[in-house]
Structure formats: structure tokens, C-alpha cells
Copies of this chain bind each other. A is one copy, B any other.
Amino acid sequence: MPDVQSLVREKAQAAHDAAVAMSILRSGEKNKALLAMAQALVTHAEEILQANAEDMARAQANAMKTSMQDRLRLTPERIAGMAEGLRQVAQLKDPVGEVIGGSTLPNGLTITKVRVPIGVVGIIYEARPNVTADAIGLCLKSGNTVVLKGGSEALHSNRTIAKILSEAAQKEGVPAGAVQFIDVTDRQAVTELIRMNGLVDVVIPRGSARLIQAVVQNATVPVIETGAGVCHTFVDETADCDMARKIAINAKVQRPSVCNAMETLLVHENVAQNFLPAMLDDFFKAGVTIFGCEKTQKFDEKVQPATDEDWATEYGDLRLSIKIVSGIDEALSHIARYGTRHSECIVTRDMQNAKRFQAEVDAAVVYVNASTRFTDGFEFGFGAEIGISTQKLHARGPMALPELTSYKYLVNGDGQIRG
């Protein structure tokens, strides 16, 4: 057995070697491959389900949490969903080759700024096997080659999906080597992958905050940080209380496990008396556990005291912290301190405060009078999503195909030299 470093280097080198051929593949060829890949998932559904059954058996033997088991489990419907996802990616506009700028210089040189693939994209993810198909589809469509390192819990499922997709893609002219799957469970593989400068152009970690921070702290390859969301909704003094309640309930309970769900509700002290009793009632009926500041606790004895840690926690479930604030200044400074630059919302009728909130909150998406749950590539109309960036370099917020590209300048002359 080769050592992990050699294995990862070999995979990264293969993806690197395939990158130029992949970058110049035409849209029509890529789309044909994506459709064939979708078909291959359906054709080989039984093989995928068998591999998944092995992962599920081990998960059950290891007493994996039910919610994690649910993410790991594949069904014929879920496989059909993965295939449909690939067909949708085939329909999307190819970002590669788009001319995004340019000029003719006084000396006659023409400069054309054109979108090109990033090159080799590393994807590091956890127990959701559908990410394997999503990531391969999006990377190939945007002309990139891809190196995948999934969670060990899903090894059999991921390996099988990657093999099926890679074979189907190759049959349709995608260069051999364009899809690389790191077929080991050793965590060392992640450490190696994120230090393959010169072979890997970017790594995108998808999963828990712990995984993402480990990648950010140890990578020498550029990273796009995704995911962690401690999202706030601030109910301003002038808010429409009914609207605010609907937005807050939706932001918390419609799907509490995702990163754009609300974790903290901030309430202007002048509206608390009108707003909070019915709001708390809604939350309790929905099964939400509330951690509140001292003032909030006075509204209902079921409100538990919030600690400093609560303000900084992405619960990801039916828990919520609530703080009564003296106004927009305190709301802004609370968000600046505890927010994760993901999605933040103000509910208000005050135009001045709406404008100020959007200008001063440092986050990927800043809402006025709408649920933070809309932060999503599909909801935004991008047709796809590879993740939600919470950093400010390269891409911010929902990332789709254009965010998987770079650009280069093509300069054409007829002998120009610099004076």
C-alpha cells in the first residue's frame, strides 16, 4: 500500500495533468457528458444502493446519530434526484469563455478579459454522498478537474458514485484524470490535499465548522471558507409585528439544520411588549427552546438564561437565543461581534434604519423584511450551488458556476513593445 502522501500527490497530479484538456472542452461536449453521467447513476442505481447499504450497516453498528444516518442514506428517489441535479447542471449556461471586460489601448493592443476554469478544485466534505455527484457535475461543467475527499462514513457510497460518474464522463470525451476520488479513510489525506500547492488551485471544505476551521488553519492552497452561519434577525422599533413573527418563525423552524437558519433574534426594547408574547408563543408551539437575556426571561418563565456562548453558537436545531436591545446601534454591534458574516436581517418600516443596516452589517447577504432562509444558490436563481462563502475573497454568499471560474487576459498585438 502506498503511503497517503504519495497517493494524494498522485491523484492531484493526475487532476493537474488533465486540467488543460478539461479547460478547453466545449460546452456541448460537457453537457453531453453530464447527461450520460445522469443516466449512468440511474442505470447503476442498484450498485450504488448496495454500496450505501455497507455504509449504513457500519453506521448502525457504530450507533451513528439518526440525523447523520439520514444524510448518509440513499434511496432510489435520492439517486434519481442526484441524476436530475446533473441534468439541471447540463442546462445551465457555461461560464467558461464569457468575455467579462476588455479594451483597446492607445498603442493598438487589444485586451480581452475572459472567464477560464480555476483548474483543479479540491472538495473536502463529510457524510452526504450526494455531494459527490453535485461537486463532480459543477466542477466539470465549469471546466475544472476535481479531487474529492469525502467522509469515511460514506466511503463505499462515494467511491461507487465517483467511479460510475468518472467512467461515464470518460466515455463521452471528458479527459481521463478529470475526476479523482481519494479512496482512503485516513485523515492525513486531507492534510496532504490542502498543501498541494502547484497542483491544486483551490480547496472548498463543506461540512461542520470543525472541518472547515481545520482546513482554513492548515491549508497552504487557497481556501474558500464556507458555511458556518450564526444568523440574526433584528426586529426594529417600527417593525410590522405580524410580518416580523412570520419571518422569524420561518427563519428558525422551516429547516433549522441549515446554515441560513436564524440562531439569534434581536428585539428593539420599544417593540418587545407588543411583539414578544405572541412571538414566544409561536416558538413554543413549534417546539423551539428559547435562551434569552434577562429582559427576555421576564416575558415567560420557560425562557432559559442565555450565556455568552449561546450568542456565538450555531445551534442547527430547534434552539434559539433572544436578546432585547436598546436600538439599531446595539443590534449592529451584537451582530458585528457574534455574526459569522453569512446572512443577517432587519425587519423595519424605517427607511433610514434599513439603509444603515444594509450598509453597516458585514455579511454575505443582508436582508430587509425577508427570511434569511433565502440565502441559497437555487433560491437566488443561480440554478446550482457548490456552497455558501463566508469569506470576502473571490466569492461571497451562494457560489454557483461563475464562482468556480477565474479569468485571464488575452492580449493581441502586432509587434508592440514598451517604451
Question: A residues bordering B, Cβ < 8 Å?
Answer: 19-20, 23-24, 103, 105, 109, 111, 118-119, 197, 201-202, 216-217, 220, 222-224, 240, 243, 246-247, 249-251, 254, 336, 354, 358-360, 362-371, 373-374, 379-381, 391-394, 396-397, 406-418
Contacts and interface: CB of A to CB of B under 8 A. Distances in A.
A325 to B, nearest CB: 17
A105 B371 CA distance: 14
B20 A109 contact: no
Q: How many copies of this chain does one complex carry?
A: 2
A244 to B, nearest CB: 9
- Top 3 nearest A-B pairs by Cβ distance? A370-B413, A250-B417, A392-B406
A191 to B, nearest CB: 14
Contacts of A201: 391-393
Given A392-B201, A409-B366, A410-B358, A415 B246 contact: yes
State the majority secondary structure of interface residues on A: mixed
A119 B362 contact: yes
A306 to B, nearest CB: 22
Given A362-B20, A393-B202, A374 B119 contact: no
A365 B397 contact: no
B380 A414 contact: no
Nearest to A217: B220
Contact of A418 (B336, B360, B374, B412): B374
B408 A365 contact: yes
A354 B111 CA distance: 15
Contact of A396 (B19, B197, B370, B407): B407
Nearest to A255: B418
A417 B408 CA distance: 40
Contact of A222 (B109, B371, B393, B417): B393
Contacts of A371: 416-418
Best-surrounded residue of A19, A223, A365 (most CB of chain B within 10 A): A365
